[in-house]
Structure 1
Amino acid sequence: MAETILILGACGQIGTELTQSLRLINGNENVIASDIRYGEDSFVKEGPFEIIDATDRDTILEVIKKYEITQVYLMAAMLSATAEKYPQKAWELNMNSLLIILELAREKQIQTVYWPSSIAVFGPASPKINTPQDTIMNPTTVYGMSKLAGEHWCNYYHKKFGVDVRSLRYPGIISWKTKPGGGTTDYAVDIYFKSVEDGTYECFLDKDTELPMMYMKDAIDATIQIMQANSSDIKVRTSYNVAAISFTPDQITSEIKKHISEFEISYKPDFRQDIANSWPQIIDDSKARIDWNWSHKFDLESMTKEMLKNIQSSMMSM
């Protein structure tokens, strides 16, 4: 039986590309995109689209019944840097939206839930290098706190009620299709755009700040792969570590300069530096690789080539 999928937060950085990938697999009419407001016309017109506030249970249930939804991907969230400016709103959005979906799954309104976590669940006491699946977690941000609490809610609903909820701890996600959306790792997206558009970039992190990152294609592959895996293979019901590459602003600059030799970068760290300092540098994702055969494809070199090529092409077509 084909899945009928609802994506909440479909107009976000990951949601946009996830929607398109799921539609290629399941067919346009079987993947219902939704967000609190309309996205770009071309995206909205590709298939079914609904305006949904992710904290509005009644509307969510109405749409689930309307389309006979079997899977929900809850991608709506307020990200790390933005959440620090609006902590209470961030907590309410990030927590209430998850609890609504978990309850609907408990009530058998839907069969499977995907909810993303983040490396923001780790904190200053977590090991920085090869951060293990299970370790000390003392997040310092509202975003990280909400994700850590959410992981425990997911595990609770699975253990107590048998809810099939699956999750990944995303590192920084890098994409050329959607511009940055308020995350601490977003410098690694913005730097590519600025290198092509302006030839210069002012970075809000120190040059030697190493963070885990992942190209969007790998992130989408990981998301779809965990959802396609047999339930018995999903051994972790909080959230899986997933990793691809780790680098610093200095290293990504060197890679960009291989293609744009005149590119210049300056550094002006702000409050996001403290957030980055609390996060891991390299993630151990061996559990995901063992349990459901996760494997990334892109390194810094291949990702940089793709990013610059696609940004340049999109600018030329404007």
Structure 2
Amino acid sequence: MITINTAKGPFKVESWEDVLERPGFTPDLDPNQHKLDSVIGRYVFGDMVKCGLSNCHTPHARGYIVATKSGLETNIGKDCGKKYFGLDFDYMAKQFDIDMAAHENRDILWSFSFQVEELEAKIAMLRTSDKGADWVNKNANALTDPGKLPLTVTRQIGELVKQKSGRYTREREATAQEAEDMETKAGRKLDRPLYITDYEVNIRGIEALYPENNLRELLIVQILDELKAFKKLSIDELSHAQLIRWKKWATSVDLILDNASASIDHGRVLLTKENLEPLSRLENLNKNGELQRFLAFIGQLC
């Protein structure tokens, strides 16, 4: 990759031959006879190119194209730049890299700015479609809110989220007869007490409740709130640090949307009567009308 900066802005050069054919470019510049004027380009290759200084010519894969005060151009690596042109080169090379990064980041942000309406429409569709993000978020939050569902249920859901698994088992101590049967099957005496699994269920889609999959955080906080601030920006006036910050966000939006879409899918699997009904058999749920409250909740999910 070769990038050269001009008064009209940076542009990509296709091949090293294009650089060699530039007016004033010399592959054999005497650094003792010329003073550095500016860094005008940089390159990164898989193959090696020779240093353009007459007393070096060491092959290297990455370096800079520089212009001298006499109007000649050549190519050098960082080591030669520091050695023959001192702190001037070090400063100019760093500034060139900053300027190029700023230009690339501005291009990314300008391109992103033309996608804002499409992005807003996509988020609106994700939120309001049948059993979309808003529906999933509302009902998923209820599963962890003791104010909306029985504490027995919300505690169990909390445990499933904590263990990152929808698998739930309930064990009880085996009766004397059950213990004898287990020993007979094992063909030996077993340490007491013995336990058996009373029932086992697997709540699918529990991933929808993981903190990193929270739909409000993904769509509202990480995208829409940021988008409001982005739309007020003057991209051409952003500082280097601001460009880095907004470019990082803009290039993360697609991944955030993918995560949100996956979370919606998990939520649609989780939030069905059939999937959540096994939780109605939790101990202590049949108190103070709690079972009826839970059954009413899962009944409206259909």
Highest RCO, 1 vs 2 (Cα 8 Å, sep ≥ 6): 1
Higher helix share: 2
Q: Same fold (TM over 0.5)?
A: no
**Bigger Cα Rg:** 2
Q: TM-score, normalised by structure 1?
A: 0.23
